[in-house]
Amino acid sequence: MIYTVTFNPSLDYNVSVEDFKLGHTNRTSSELLLPGGKGLNVSMVLGNLGIPNTAFGFAAGFVGEEIVRRIEEMGVKAEFIWIGDGVSRINLKLKSIDGTEINGCGPVIHEGDVQKLIAKLELLQAGDVLVLAGSIPGSVPDDIYRRIMSEMSGRGIEVVVDATKELLVNVLEYHPFLIKPNHHELGGIFGVELKTREDVIPYARRMQQMGARNVLVSMAAAGAVLVAEDKSVYETDAPKGILVNGVGAGDSMVAGFLAGWMEKKEYRHAFAMGVSAGSASAFSERLAEKKEIMDLYRREFARS
């Protein structure tokens, strides 16, 4: 079974505003309300691919209720810890001005709430996969991913980590099965600028030397690179298509990789599925459906 953890899930309010003007009343030309958070995105794409999974997370108030309702409608099993105070966050994403977002804070998560999550994770068994994805709220200790991986250590549980800087670096000693930085995040760890796939490879290998088993690096329009545990390296250009919505593309790549790995235990296939899922989501208004992913896979990778 695959499990995901999202510490700060959200409702993402995606709007377009024609001719946006500061200091004026602006009216939307399109609106879309979706559950968000990196772990939830992984869960939802896995669900779209027909792979059962369970989403762990924290939720509060009427927004939390709506997040859970929506992901369960999508067929994802939600086992959330309910926070007594506050409200889960709403993130405003202004699509007509690329990269413009206003993200909420979310509720305060106390140590007792974290302990409830740890108790759930103690029930995982050998062979299960745990995905730790995204940032953490300020109320949670910044060593929480490391703490969770320490709990998982030696139990035969494969852990995937999609996080930035210290959250990622601090878990490497526990040898995560997969990490998925993008090239900016990978470069930021080492204080360098990575522009090409050739630039990425030696730094992905350095992450392996630090403890990661497989390093999957997303590079947006520049494609992607996988430096695998068996020392093989896979790289590809980005599939051709029109970028519609980049939010969730990296999370979709994680989901596609896991789906491909579980199917065949082949790195080439897992990499191709990851790139197909990530690109299909980037070319879609919402997270990609199975048909979109598989159509892209057949077009780009079936003959390779």
Q: Active-site residue numbers? A: 251
* DSSP-derived 3-state class of residue 281: helix
Give the whole-angstrom CA distance, residue 124 versus residue 108.
26
Residues whose CB falls within 8 Å of the CB of residue 240, separated by 6 or more in sequence, listed in order: none
Which residue, 138, 139, 189, is CA-closest to 161?
189
Compute the distance between CA of residue 49 and CA of residue 168 in angstroms, rounded to an integer. 27
Burial 168-207 (b: 16+ CB within 10 A, else e): bbbbbebebbbbbbbbebbbebeeeebeebebbbebbeeb
Length of the chain: 304
100 - beta bridge partners? Answer: 94
Question: Side by side, which strands form the sheet with 224-227?
Answer: 77-82, 53-59, 2-6, 129-133, 158-162, 178-179, 214-218, 224-227, 233-236
CA distance 136 to 104: 13
Structure tokens at 70: 């929506």
Strands 53-59 and 100-102: unpaired
Measured CA to CA, the distance from residue 122 to residue 85 in angstroms comes to 26
Give 125's strand partners: none
